[in-house]
Amino acid sequence: EKIKERGALQFEINLQDDYVKFFRLCEEKISSSKIGVLGLITNNGYLSTPTLRGMRDSILETFSSMWVLDLHGHVAKGEIGPDGAQEENVFDIVQGVSVFLGERTQLKTGDGAVLHAERYGSRTGKYSFLQSHDRNLTNFAAIEPSPPFYLFVPHDADLALEWKQYVGLAELFPKNSAGIITARDGLVIAENKRELAERLERFSHAKGAEDSIYEEFGFSASKRFDLREAQSELRRLKSFSEPIRRMLHRPFDERFVFFNRSVVWSLSRPMADQMEDGKNLALVATRQVTRPQFEHAYVSRHIIEIKACSHDRNTQIFPLFICGSDGELALSSGATPNLNPAVLTKLAKALGLKLNSSTRQLGKDDELSPLRLFNFAYAILHCPSYRERYFEFLRSDFPRLPLTGNLELFRALARLGGELTALHLLESPKLAQPITEFIGSRPPEVEKISWSKNTVWIDKAQTIGFQGVREDVWNFHIGGYQVCQKWLKDRKGRTLTKDDLAHYQKIVVALTETIRLMAEIDAVIGQHGGWPGAFTAGASATVT
């Protein structure tokens, strides 16, 4: 089946990887002879990468039996083993590794059998295992790859069926897009709009050797970028302020980007138009997760950077409303919900509510509005038991949402999701009351970030910092980013202003409340039957 997602470019890039080509070459030899044995040590990305599902399907058709030993060790992703220890690779590379053994017999019929085993830990431990084990001594477990992803990693077939009955984010929000890839952050991103405009104007007139220009503006040369042509295009602009847009750069960290194709590698102008005025609302999520837990859901009123909600995976933006009634993503006076109308209609019927798609507000208590559904979805994505139960699917798929006909459950989750949304947008009234105090007599220059005694220290001597930060708040992650550390780390060497101090204190309140609300979401679902009972027929009317 043709790859249809907007990440098709990544699909083409994956197919150009040498190990994929060698896999196909070997597969072709085996297929033509109709019998044979293959052993390959390769990149382990093909085991679960969504855009290589066609490759896995083809391998299933070719071989009678397959044995996959996943040696993990994806250093580039910061992969962590089940025991919480950092992974080591069997080679001096940053990409995870796996061993593939496949055989084809003349009696082959249908898809082949797949057996899976894995090893985590140190390089020495993996070497020792490989030295002392062969195929027969290794404890392989049978797995059953199934459409649409044909995963070569363990997954529960019954749980997979349960998962597929839910509504995927791309199905619920038909219009969506990947975030911006700047390829040159040092040039096109800044915290100050005026500073950014002046920087780009200065860059457009910069003369001298190209290497010195790259060094001055903090980025490197690339094959896809013609510096002189970019400068020429910029000099034709009437204004260096007009292209600038506010952008979600990292969780709780908005910045400005010079939104122009002459200097930004990849951008979606139609989607950016939907978020331009800061009044729209968008869900932010990723398709793949490399960390040992799912924490890759966020919210924004602005366009997003490609790593806004993941330290190593691409982030997708799902606007709640689309402006324009002509079917195009163009601005006009009207706005329609970017929600699947069939899902909206069925959900309203199951809940016994009137459907009100014309409001951007919550609407009346007897109405189902787009914002209520958005808040409900946001609560689900922050449910700890949801994240744990479906983690094996969240590792390689966009989140899927269970809908419900239980009005009490829906209202409770929508309320909690609404609170989370307001907190993460820093719009909640709860943020007006700080729970931390900045202590110390020195200027608040960020030198070295650490935590001890419920205090986030920003200097080496641990004399100045934010007092009143619990350990679980300090350790809280969104998209692989340890938020309390990351925000400060990105400002290392800078003296924090009063606004900076107030912003950080709001982050601490938001994370403290998030932890509380996540536990409450879990408790509410538990009170209504837990997973999947709270969302299945009998307890409620599931809508798919």
- Output the DSSP codes for 319-341: ESEEE-SSSSS---S-EEE-S-H
pLDDT of residue 513: 98
Strands (DSSP E) contained in 394-541 are: 400-401, 437-439, 450-452, 455-457, 465-467, 477-478, 481-482
Residue whose entry in the numeric block shows the structure tokens 């001594």? 137
- Tokens representing 151 are 């995963």
Instruction: Tell which phi-psi region holds residue 447, choosing left (phi > 0), alpha (psi between -120 and 50) or beta.
Output: alpha
Nearest 10 degrees: Cα torsion 315, 386, 515, 374? 60
What secondary structure, in 3-state letters, does 220-242 show? Answer: CCCCCCCHHHHHHHHHCCCCCCC
Nearest 10 degrees: Cα torsion 519, 346, 542, 171? -70
pTM: 0.79
- Tokens representing 194 are 């005026």
Q: Are 73 and 88 in contact (CB under 8 A)?
A: yes
Helix axes 53-62, 18-33, angle to 10 degrees: 20
pLDDT of residue 13: 62
Q: Does residue 326 register a pLDDT over 70?
A: no
Q: Does residue 334 register a pLDDT over 50?
A: yes
- Tokens representing 384 are 């700890």
pLDDT of residue 308: 94
Which helix (H) or strand (E) element contains residue 247?
strand 244-250
Handedness of CA 181, 185, 187, 189 (dihedral sign): positive
Q: How far apart are CA 156 and CA 144, in angstroms?
A: 9
Give the residue with greater pLDDT, 112 vs 412: 412
pLDDT of residue 324: 63
pLDDT above 90 coverage of the chain, percent: 73
* pLDDT tier for residue 529 given thresholds of 50, 70 and 90: very high
78-86 average pLDDT score: 80
Q: Does residue 328 register a pLDDT over 80?
A: no
Concatenate the DSSP letters of all residues of 391-448 into one string: HHHHTTS--EE---S-HHHHHHHHHHHHHHHHHHTT--GGGGS---EEE-SS--B---
Residue whose entry in the numeric block shows the structure tokens 């072709």? 28
pLDDT above 70 coverage of the chain, percent: 94
Handedness of CA 212, 217, 218, 219 (dihedral sign): negative
Closest CA to 34 of 66, 60, 63: 63
Q: How far apart are CA 529 and CA 522, in angstroms?
A: 11
131-137 average pLDDT score: 95
What count of Cα atoms within 13 Å lies in the side-chain half-sphere of residue 381? 28
Q: How far apart are CA 78 and CA 96, in angstroms?
A: 10
pLDDT digits (tens, 9 = 90+) for 256-295: 999 999 998 877 777 788 888 888 999 999 987 877 789 9
Q: How far apart are CA 360 and CA 280, in angstroms?
A: 9
pLDDT digits (tens, 9 = 90+) for 444-478: 999 999 999 999 999 999 999 999 999 999 999 99
Residue whose entry in the numeric block shows the structure tokens 């009678």? 64
Q: Are 180 and 266 in contact (CB under 8 A)?
A: yes
Q: Does residue 148 register a pLDDT over 90?
A: no
Nearest 10 degrees: Cα torsion 179, 280, 5, 146? 110
Q: Are 39 and 101 in contact (CB under 8 A)?
A: yes
Backbone φ and ψ of 398, nearest 5° = -60, 150
Q: How far apart are CA 288 and CA 395, in angstroms?
A: 5
